[in-house]
Amino acid sequence: MLFRKQKEILGHSGAVYSGAAKNAVIYTGSADKYLVRWLSKEGIQDKFSIRFEKSIYAIELLANNRLIAGLSDGGIHIFDLDERKEIKYYTQHTKGIFSIRRNLEKQHFYIGDADGNLSVWDENTLELLLYLPLDCGKIRDITVSQNGGQFVLACQDGTLRIFESNFFNEIKTIVAHKGGSTSVIYHPQDETRLISGGKDAHLKSWDLSTEGEIDSIPAHNFAIYSIISLGNGTHIATASRDKTIKIWDKDLVFKQRLDHKFLGHRHSVNQLMKIDENTFVSISDDKKIIFWENVGEN
């Protein structure tokens, strides 16, 4: 896969920290305190935008056409997108919300904050099911297995913490990254493996059965903030504080670097969002939203 810049949106007046994509629209949250919806094909803002009192650190799309936003003060806001109104506001967390992830199969969603607290919620009733103080530092990322049976937290203490999703027991703990674990996904073609990124700038893969390290690659110059799969699992993309995006094959062999010389970002790349298997979006401290598309083989 070989990626080229498709288009760019410059609509926020502050760093863009968070995003979520669904069909032909994307949502972004920024240090400018606005949550905005954009039309992907046209590359323009539509009429949906919300202003908060704090920065938006995490966004996730839920069932029943709902959206959840986690703020820098720990506030959790849930909106009905059809009715264009807020339906719930929670103050369960008191520190910044850095990760929100939906478990489609279990109809739950998970929230992690800057103090290492994890909350589990019912997606349909929006009720709190469990609150776990884990004392692991900032929970920077959460990923869920395809069958919904497990989920993994990337934690500031350097661990990857694996939970089963029936009774929420922690079943494995992998000491993964010096300085902190910052991103994690299940391997797109083999869910007995994890792929993680850390503050140590290394991209690593792990065997879940043995908890052993398979690969460790000095992939970036600074922390790896986001990992996604592309091409039906044949490739992954990583985003870093070092201002770059890198493309790898499924075996973590380097394929392509996307940086400002390639019309990319000039500041930290905070998140990647997959539109489809050949298209993704990156957001950055430089206020830009950039769309990338696969144009052929590398």
Residue 59 · residue 48 · CB < 8 Å: no
Residue from 142, 164, 145, 144 nearest 153 by CA: 142
Neighbour tally for 296: CB within 10 Å:
8
Question: Listing from the earlier edge strand, what are the strands of the sheet with 212-218?
Answer: 181-186, 193-198, 202-207, 212-218
Closest CA to 150 of 165, 134, 170: 165
The CA-atom distances, in angstroms, between 278 and each of 14, 37, 90 are 28, 21, 37
The predicted pLDDT at position 47 comes to 86
> Cα separations (Å) of 22 from 44, 235, 280?
15, 21, 12
pLDDT-flagged residues of the chain (< 50): none
pLDDT for 52: 96
**Other beta carbons within 10 Å of 62:** 21
Four-CA torsion 133, 139, 145, 151, nearest 10 degrees = -10
- Please tell me the pTM assigned to this model: 0.96
Name the token pair of 52: 């908060």
Q: Cα 4 to chain center, whole Å?
A: 22
Q: Tell me the chain's radius of gyration from C-alpha atoms.
A: 18
Of 182, 292, 181, the C-alpha closest to 235 is 292
Determine the pLDDT at residue 258: 98
pLDDT at 155: 98
User: CB of 281 within 8 A of CB of 272?
Assistant: yes
pLDDT digits (tens, 9 = 90+) for 217-237: 999 999 999 999 999 999 999
- As a whole number of angstroms, the distance between CA 28 and CA 92 comes to 23
Under a CB-based contact definition with an 8 Å cutoff, are residues 29 and 55 in contact? Answer: yes
Domain that holds residue 53: 3-294
Under a CB-based contact definition with an 8 Å cutoff, are residues 22 and 39 in contact? no
Residue written as token pair 């009720």 = 127
User: Residue 235's domain is classified under what CATH number?
Assistant: 2.130.10.10
Based on the structure, what is the number of domains in the chain?
A: 1
Please give the pLDDT value at position 298.
Answer: 64
- The number of residues making up the chain comes to 298
Please report, rounded to a whole number, the percentage of residues in the chain having pLDDT higher than 70: 100
